[in-house]
Structure 1
C-alpha cells in the first residue's frame, strides 16, 4: 500500500496466513514519532511467550467517535458546505481499505480476552464488505443526506498534493472469516447505524483547519477544466 515493499501485488483478501511485510520499521525516516514502530516485531514477542498465552488482533482502519484522525470529517465537511461534487484521483477512488466501527473493535477485543478458544490465535477483524473509497464516501453521503456525486480525474489533471502516494492496486482487504467462525464475532450495529453515530460525533467535535476555503476555488477550476 505505501510502496515500501518490493513483492508482487496481492489480489485476494488477506488471511491470517498471508505473508507479512518484510521491511522492518516501516515509518523510519518518514515519521519521527514512529521511528521504532513495527507491529510484526510486537506480534513475534507476544506469540513467543511460552508461559503466557497471547492473542493477536489485526485491525483495519477504525472509525467512529473519538477518532483523533477524523477520517470521516474531510468528506463530511464538503457535504456540509453544500459541495455538489467530491473530486478524487481515479485510482484512489477504486482503492479498497478494510474498516470497522470502533464499538465493534471493542467487542472483538472483549471476545478474545474472555474466550479460551482465542488463546495463541491470530485474528483479522474487519467489516465483511470492503468498500472502495468512492463507495465509502457514498455511504457517508447517504447517511448524512447528501445529494451530490463523487467524480474522478486522472492524476495528471490534479495537483501533486491531491494525489495519494499509495499503491492503489494493492487493496487492504482483510478476510475476517476466522474470528466469526471460531468465536462467533459479529458487528453489534448495522453499517448505517455505525455511520450515523460517527457523523453525529464528528459534527459535535469538528477538527480545526481541516479544509481551507481556497481548496474549493482550486477544485472549481479543475472541475470546469474537466467539463463538470
Structure 2
C-alpha cells in the first residue's frame, strides 16, 4: 500500500512509520521538518506546514495514497484543511482522536456535571457536552488550548463525503519519547529511582483507574486500522486490556526498580498543594478496547513488563534538568518531611 502520514515525526509517529515500512508499505511523511526523527531511509519526506497542505495537492495526487493517516488533526480548521487537501486524492483517511471526547473525561476534569458514567467506557458511551476541555481565557484565542477539540474533528471527518474515515481514539500514552514525562509527573519515578523510603499519595488518586497504552502498541493499533479496509467508517478505542489503579501502577514501577519503601495514602485535604491531584477521581477512566481486538485482530506486540522497563530506562536517561536533582524542589521536599513528622512517621 501507499500510505501518506501527516505528522509522524514525534513520539507515536516514528513507531507508526517504522512498522509500516517493516511490513513493506511505501510511506511518505508530510511534516514541517522541525523534528529530527530517526525514520527509515526509504521514507520520502514532503516538507510544509499544515496550513500549506493545499499547495501540495498535485504532489499528493502523484503519490496517490491508498490511505492517509492524520496524526495531528486537533481543531476544526485542521479537519477542514485535511478535506480540502485530500478530497479526490485518497479514498481513505485514518484520523487520530482521543478518549478525552468522552463525557467521563469531562467529569474527571470537572467540565461536566451530573451522574457518573458506567465503566468500562465503550465507543458508544456518551461524549462531552462541554466543548474545548482545555480552554483558558487568560491565553490568546488562537492558542492551542482554546482551539483543540477532537469532538469537532470527529464530527467533521465522519460526516464528509470526500473520503472514507476511520477514527482511532487513543488513551494516555506512555513510552520512550513521551514529552509529557508521565512517569515523572504522577507515577513518582524520580522518587522511586532515588530510593525514597516513603512516597505520599493522594488516597483518592491512588485508587483511581485510568487506561494507558504503550507507545509501540498504540502505534500498532493505528497501523492495524490503516491496513485493514474493514475499519472503514468505524471508531475504535485503543488501550491496554486492564487498567490497574494508580497505586498498583506505582508499585509495578517500584518492583522493577527494586524499591523497598512504603507508599503512604492520605486524604487530599491533608496534603501540601504539590501532592493534591486536581481531578474528580470518583469517575473512573477504564476504557473498553474489545472492538478493535475482535474486529481487526489487534493485540499488543510489547508485553507490559517490557513496556514499563523500556519507559523507565528512557525516562532515566532523558530526565529533564529541572527534575533531575533532589534539590530541584526543596520547598516541596520540606513540606513532605514536615507532614511525615507531624504524623510521627519521621522523627
TM-score with structure 2 setting the length? 0.63
1:47 equivalent in structure 2? 158
Alignment: residue pair count: 228
* 1:10-49 to 2 correspondences below 5 Å: 10-29=117-136, 32-49=143-160
SS at match of 2:164: coil
Deviations 1:34-68 (A, max 9, x none): 11111100111111112311111111100000000
Distance in 1 (alpha carbons) for counterparts of 2:339 and 2:148:
38
Structure 1 contact 144–196 (Cα < 8 Å) conserved: no
Which residue of the partner structure matches residue 151 of structure 1?
A: 264
Stretches of 4+ moved more than 3 A in 1? 30-33
| RMSD after superposition | 1.4
**Deviation at 1:204?**
0.9
Larger-gyration structure (1/2)? 2
> Corresponding residue for 1:127?
240
How far off its partner does 1:171 sit? 1.1
Q: In 2, Cα distance between the equivalents of 1:226 and 1:128?
A: 38
Q: Which residue of 2 aligns with 1:193?
A: 306
Report the counterpart of residue 141 of structure 1 in structure 2.
254
Partner SS, residue 263 of structure 2? strand
1:1-228 alignment to 2 at 5 Å?
1-29=108-136, 32-74=143-185, 75-210=188-323, 212-228=329-345
Q: Are 1:97 and 1:132, in contact at CA under 8 Å, matched by a contact in 2?
A: yes
Shift, 1:159, TM fit: 2.0
Once residues 224 and 157 of structure 2 are traced to their aligned partners in structure 1, the CA distance between those partners, rounded to angstroms, is: 18
Q: Which runs of 5+ in 2 are unaligned?
A: 1-107
Please report how far the alpha carbon of residue 81 of structure 1 lies from its aligned counterpart in structure 2 after TM superposition: 1.7
More strand by share: 2
Gaps of 5+ in 1: none
Q: Does the Cα contact within 8 Å between 1:96 and 1:172 map onto a contact in 2? A: yes
Whole-angstrom CA distance in 1 between matches of 2:248 and 2:273: 23
TM-score (norm 1): 0.95
State the structure with bigger RCO (CA 8 A, min sep 6), 1 or 2: 1
SS at match of 2:298: coil
